[in-house]
């Protein structure tokens, strides 16, 4: 659907209920920021239907309060500690989202030169940026050194040597921590596990001491810390404690070898509820980690954390319109205007997202596969969902704040969706819907003298 006119920053009118007897609906992941009122779905103090009417669909809708409160939970859990929360911006790198976290006092965890530029554009303090990732280029290293980022999380011996050379060319020293792979099973999806021996991330635990000794000899490097990240969507405290113990063992070995470590970067990865997961509350999770740190005599150290999904995942939904209903003998399909290019997680991970009507209808639910318009059999958003709906209705795909827009593509020459941020009773369009001309803006028409016909 094309975008409808809408103010970039406006208070929207309230709507009347769809029926005198609203249909009872369960709480969504993302409650209380997304909630039911007068028989329909609201975000904070605005009805979602009015946002869809104003801006068109597919439409990502975010709660500013949900993001701020999530960041505050980390900061409060670390109160009294020398600590920095660095938002892992790969989860959602929209500029307004980054600005929100920068204003909330967060630093940033980046994994590319492009993310560095986005963070700087959003007003990030370079000293509060850590640069992770296994494949940093020389150009990315050079730019990061020139702006003065806080730390490089180095993931291989080869990277150590290249970063040393780049820093010496610039006449400076690169602050580094080594990302250590502790070989701990995070008990999560294999595609988002990062701390096992067969993952591509980090330096193997048994090689880490030698790597630190090597780093300490390189004149272009300044060793400042140690980093560990075991995966994403982790819903148990136990893997974190296992990893922390292995990291602290290594810290003690490294410092016994005469190399001082000023900070511990313990990564992110805390999960959220998509369906029935029960991840620990940030306060309880952090209390367990801090207790272990204190018990082992490391509570004085500066701490860095890199949450992503847990700050934004349940702060967003994607609103999509039902285009067609397609009953069938084996499967019945709801064809909607959002597809795998907008919401890649189901196609990539067979991930579950709750799907609910924005304005529920009374009636007997039927089972539907909710699928998009992309020309792939893997283009589905939800399978066997019990819904009462018809063409023209809006559906909300929950838990869409993380790894949706940031992973969106232009497949099938589909423009990226619009994004709206809501705070209280006000909304702001933070990304305009792309139109076709946006998609080929960087392309060039054919200018070469090439064969335009063939002979049999």
Phi-psi region of 330 (alpha: psi -120 to 50; beta: other; left: phi over 0): alpha
- φ and ψ of 135, to 5 deg: -125, 45
pLDDT at 449: 84
- Between CA 119 and CA 109 the distance in angstroms is 9
Supply the angle between the helices 238-256 and 205-217 in degrees, to the nearest 10: 40
- φ and ψ of 342, to 5 deg: -90, -40
pLDDT at 19: 44
pTM summary value: 0.91
Answer yes or no: 375 catalytic: yes
pLDDT at 3: 41
321 annotated as ligand-binding: no
308 annotated as ligand-binding: yes
Supply the angle between the helices 238-256 and 282-295 in degrees, to the nearest 10: 30
Reported residue count of the chain is: 456
309 annotated as ligand-binding: yes
pLDDT at 53: 98
202 annotated as ligand-binding: no
3-class secondary structure, 456: coil
pLDDT at 229: 87
- Which domains are delineated in the chain? 9-64+313-438 (2.40.37.10), 65-312 (3.20.20.10)
Which residues contact residue 301 at a Cβ distance below 8 angstroms, ignoring those fewer than 6 apart? 82, 261, 262, 263, 264, 293
Query: What CA–CA distances, in Å, run from 60 to 55, 63, 129, 243, 431?
Result: 10, 10, 27, 35, 9
Which of 86, 106, 228, 375 is flagged as catalytic? 375
Which residues contact residue 19 at a Cβ distance below 8 angstroms, ignoring those fewer than 6 apart? 39, 362
- Between CA 96 and CA 237 the distance in angstroms is 32
- φ and ψ of 177, to 5 deg: -125, 155
- Between CA 87 and CA 74 the distance in angstroms is 11
pLDDT in tens, 107-121: 999 999 999 999 999
Which residues contact residue 323 at a Cβ distance below 8 angstroms, ignoring those fewer than 6 apart? 335, 336, 337, 373, 391
pLDDT in tens, 169-186: 999 999 999 999 887 754
3-class secondary structure, 60: strand
306 annotated as ligand-binding: yes
Which residues contact residue 274 at a Cβ distance below 8 angstroms, ignoring those fewer than 6 apart? 29, 313, 351, 352, 353, 354, 398, 399
403 annotated as ligand-binding: yes
302 annotated as ligand-binding: no
- Between CA 58 and CA 349 the distance in angstroms is 21
345 annotated as ligand-binding: yes
Torsion angle in degrees (nearest 10) through CA of 61, 67, 68, 70 = 150
Tell me if 180 sits within 8 A of 203, measured CB to CB.
Answer: yes
Q: How far apart are the first and last CA of the chain?
A: 44
269 annotated as ligand-binding: yes
- Between CA 143 and CA 136 the distance in angstroms is 11
Query: What CA–CA distances, in Å, run from 290 to 80, 81, 253?
Result: 11, 10, 21
pLDDT at 21: 54
In the chain, which stretches have pLDDT less than 50?
A: 1-8, 10-20, 186, 188-196
Tell me if 103 sits within 8 A of 421, measured CB to CB.
Answer: no
């Amino acid at each position: 659907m094309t975008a409808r006119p809408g103010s970039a920053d406006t208070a929207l009118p309230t709507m009347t209920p769809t029926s005198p007897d609203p249909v009872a609906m369960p709480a969504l992941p993302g409650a209380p920021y997304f909630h039911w009122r007068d028989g329909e779905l609201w975000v904070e103090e605005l009805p979602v239907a009015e946002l869809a009417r104003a801006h068109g669909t597919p439409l990502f809708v975010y709660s500013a309060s949900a993001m701020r409160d999530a960041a505050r939970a980390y900061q409060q859990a670390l109160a009294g500690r020398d600590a920095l929360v660095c938002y892992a911006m790969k989860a959602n790198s929209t500029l307004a989202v980054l600005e929100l976290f920068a204003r909330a006092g967060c630093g940033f965890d980046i994994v590319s030169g492009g993310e560095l530029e986005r963070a700087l554009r959003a007003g990030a303090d370079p000293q509060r940026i850590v640069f992770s990732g296994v494949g940093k280029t020389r150009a990315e290293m050079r730019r990061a050194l020139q702006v003065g980022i806080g730390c490089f999380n180095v993931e291989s011996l080869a990277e150590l040597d290249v970063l040393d050379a780049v820093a010496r060319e610039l006449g400076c020293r690169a602050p580094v921590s080594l990302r250590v792979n502790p070989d701990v099973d995070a008990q999560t999806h294999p595609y988002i596990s990062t701390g096992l021996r067969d993952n591509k991330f980090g330096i193997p635990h048994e090689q880490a001491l030698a790597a630190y000794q090597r780093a300490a000899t390189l004149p272009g490097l300044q060793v400042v810390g140690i980093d560990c990240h075991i995966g994403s969507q982790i819903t148990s405290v136990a893997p974190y404690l296992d990893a922390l113990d292995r990291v602290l063992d290594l810290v003690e070995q490294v410092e016994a070898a005469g190399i001082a470590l000023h900070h511990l970067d313990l990564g992110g990865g805390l999960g959220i509820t998509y369906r029935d997961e029960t991840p620990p509350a940030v306060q309880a999770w952090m209390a367990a980690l801090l207790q272990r740190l204190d018990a082992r005599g490391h509570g004085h150290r500066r701490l860095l954390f890199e949450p992503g999904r847990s700050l934004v995942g349940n702060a967003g939904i994607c609103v999509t319109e039902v285009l067609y209903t397609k009953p069938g003998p084996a499967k019945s399909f709801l064809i909607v205007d959002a597809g795998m290019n907008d919401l890649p997680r189901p196609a990539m991970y067979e991930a579950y997202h709750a799907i609910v009507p924005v304005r529920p209808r009374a009636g007997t639910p039927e089972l539907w596969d909710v699928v998009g318009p992309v020309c792939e059999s893997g283009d589905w958003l939800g399978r066997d969902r019990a819904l009462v709906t018809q063409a023209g209705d809006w559906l909300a795909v929950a838990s869409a704040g993380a790894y949706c827009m940031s992973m969106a593509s232009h497949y099938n020459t589909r423009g990226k969706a619009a994004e709206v941020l809501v705070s209280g009773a006000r909304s702001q369009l933070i990304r305009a819907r792309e139109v076709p001309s946006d998609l080929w803006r960087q392309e060039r028409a054919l200018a070469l003298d090439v064969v335009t016909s063939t002979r049999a």
